[in-house]
């Protein structure tokens, strides 16, 4: 990979110099950078309680030819019709590159700056992931952070397309922020409807986004606390293209957990959703993890659903089923410490969950987090969505998990769940940043089973790499995820497959 220099920026103004050009369709095409990816939030700024946040960005070229790309800096709350663009970088086929503190490294930014970042490329084969995390010297226990993917332009939210963000809470322990980024060169008003758990509308609000700009509403449920609710976002403007995300933060640790818009399966008379990891067990350094599950019914009628407990490493051909729950139209329910609440489980237990329902209208999100009494700084954790069965990875369908690191600061785990009632072998091939294959490991999963490989890059440390997951089994249906953990705080950050 070849890096070229970039021009400086300041927090209060946006300067465009000789080699930079405006983000316009004509110049876009002239440079042959016709593909756009949007990272909805990036920062180099102080936060609450002495924290200081920076953003790292990982880019992988999954194509068979080299790629060219450039960054755009999109400061929060500004008109970015003429955004600052970096010089062009090159990335070989199969290679990855990690920009640590991307705003400083690429744009020579100085604190305090917040906003969004876009990546322009000549290929549609880039996989992009960011992590924004606390690097304060006052934080002696290690970093806390959250991951946001680079969203391809084709996956932005369009006109009159309502998306739902669940698992939003405001109480003594948690608070919820909501951020949005505009993906077009016109102003867009994003309409926001806030609901409580029974589906009652609390209020209607909005975020006005200038061209290519971003903004965030903090503690969006503060007027209704304590509440566990959800938000619907939409834009009515012709040609709108935007993206919103939720961020649920612990009030003590300030650890943010990313909540992406809910993905729904297709309509079917019977649907299964999979939560690839759930725990009620001790972890490292005196930590103790439990899993909460939030379920929302977007449909117009009540839904019947039940849980299936899938212990790690076991043959779950005959899984333990919960009782049947009923969830009214528009309502949400939070199953706190789901393994104890639903299955009366006692520690230590780890595994996965399936949720069986008679509709595709459920939105499901889980959060696995530390609740140890020894953790006086507050909780930290990671979110994993409920995966509808038609989102499972099928036979000969390779998925890539990037942003995987093993070094003095970070370690990476990789877990998979089998979504079919048959044995499924999954091949996991790891690569270094140059795209050189390191090794292939096979994870043999029994029916409805799951497993996890911890520190999957330990034999090759220090390295920043990625993993491809694949199964050749004819009826395979599985899902894998990455988890990057800080070696001091043990804070996990979820990396979903692309």
Could you read off the pLDDT of 359-370 as tens digits, one per residue?
Answer: 999 999 999 987
What's the mean pLDDT in 86-93?
97
pTM above 0.95, yes or no: no
What's the mean pLDDT in 132-153?
77
Q: Where in the chain are all domains bearing CATH 2.60.290.11? A: 25-154, 156-259, 271-390, 393-495
CA distance 279 to 293: 11
For residue 178, what pLDDT is reported?
A: 97
| CATH topology classification for 25-154 | Hypothetical Protein Tm1070; Chain: A (2.60.290)
Contact in structure between 297 and 361 (CB atoms under 8 Å): yes
User: Structure tokens of 355?
Assistant: 């949720």
30 Cβ partners below 8 Å, 6+ apart? none
Q: Whole-number mean pLDDT of the chain? A: 89
| CATH topology classification for 156-259 | Hypothetical Protein Tm1070; Chain: A (2.60.290)
For residue 376, what pLDDT is reported?
A: 52
Determine the CATH number of domain 271-390.
2.60.290.11
For residue 10, what pLDDT is reported?
A: 32
pLDDT at position 7 over 90: no
Contact in structure between 99 and 57 (CB atoms under 8 Å): yes
For residue 17, what pLDDT is reported?
A: 26
For residue 6, what pLDDT is reported?
A: 37
| CATH topology classification for 393-495 | Hypothetical Protein Tm1070; Chain: A (2.60.290)
For residue 192, what pLDDT is reported?
A: 98
The residues pairing with 409 across neighbouring beta strands, listed in sequence order, are none
């Amino acid at each position: 990979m070849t890096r070229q220099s970039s021009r400086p920026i300041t927090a209060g103004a946006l300067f465009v110099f000789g080699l930079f050009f405006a983000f316009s369709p004509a110049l876009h095409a002239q440079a042959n950078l016709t593909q756009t990816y949007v990272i909805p939030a990036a920062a180099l700024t102080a936060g609450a309680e002495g924290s200081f946040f920076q953003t790292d960005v990982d880019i992988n070229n999954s194509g068979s030819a080299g790629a060219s790309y450039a960054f755009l800096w999109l400061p929060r709350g500004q008109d970015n019709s003429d955004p600052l663009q970096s010089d062009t970088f090159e990335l070989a086929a199969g290679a990855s590159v990690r920009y640590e503190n991307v705003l400083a490294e690429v744009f020579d930014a100085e604190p305090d700056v917040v906003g969004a970042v876009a990546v322009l490329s000549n290929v549609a084969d880039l996989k992009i992931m960011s992590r924004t995390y606390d690097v304060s010297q006052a934080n002696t226990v290690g970093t806390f952070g959250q991951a946001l993917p680079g969203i391809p332009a084709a996956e932005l939210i369009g006109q009159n397309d309502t998306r739902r963000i669940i698992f939003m809470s405001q109480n003594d322990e948690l608070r919820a922020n909501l951020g949005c980024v505009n993906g077009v060169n016109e102003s867009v008003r994003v309409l926001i409807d806030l609901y409580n758990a029974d589906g009652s509308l609390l209020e209607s609000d909005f975020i006005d986004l200038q061209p290519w700009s971003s903004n965030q509403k903090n503690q969006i449920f503060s007027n209704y606390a304590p509440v566990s609710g959800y938000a619907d976002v939409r834009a009515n403007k012709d040609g709108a293209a935007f993206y919103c995300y939720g961020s649920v933060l612990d009030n003590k640790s300030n650890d943010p957990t990313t909540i992406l818009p809910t993905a729904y399966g297709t309509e079917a008379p019977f649907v299964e959703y999979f939560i690839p990891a759930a725990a009620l067990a001790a972890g490292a350094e005196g930590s103790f993890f439990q899993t909460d599950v939030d379920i929302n019914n977007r449909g117009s009628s009540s839904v019947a659903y039940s849980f299936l407990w899938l212990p790690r490493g076991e043959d779950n051909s005959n899984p333990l089923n919960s009782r049947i729950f009923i969830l009214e139209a528009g309502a949400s329910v939070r199953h706190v410490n789901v393994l104890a609440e639903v299955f009366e489980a006692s520690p230590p237990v780890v595994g996965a969950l399936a949720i069986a329902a008679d509709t595709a209208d459920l939105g499901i999100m889980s959060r696995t987090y530390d609740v140890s009494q020894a953790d006086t700084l507050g909780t930290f954790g990671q979110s994993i969505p409920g995966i509808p069965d038609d989102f499972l990875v099928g036979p000969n369908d390779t998925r890539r998990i990037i942003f995987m690191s093993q070094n003095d600061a970070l370690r990476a785990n990789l877990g998979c769940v089998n979504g079919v009632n048959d044995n499924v072998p999954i091949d996991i091939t790891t690569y270094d940043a140059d795209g050189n294959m390191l090794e292939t490991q096979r994870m043999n999963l029994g029916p409805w089973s799951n497993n996890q490989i911890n520190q999957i890059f330990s034999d090759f440390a220090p390295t920043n790499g990625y993993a491809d997951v694949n199964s050749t089994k004819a009826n395979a249906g599985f899902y894998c995820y990455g988890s990057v953990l800080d070696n001091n705080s043990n804070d996990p950050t979820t990396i979903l497959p692309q």
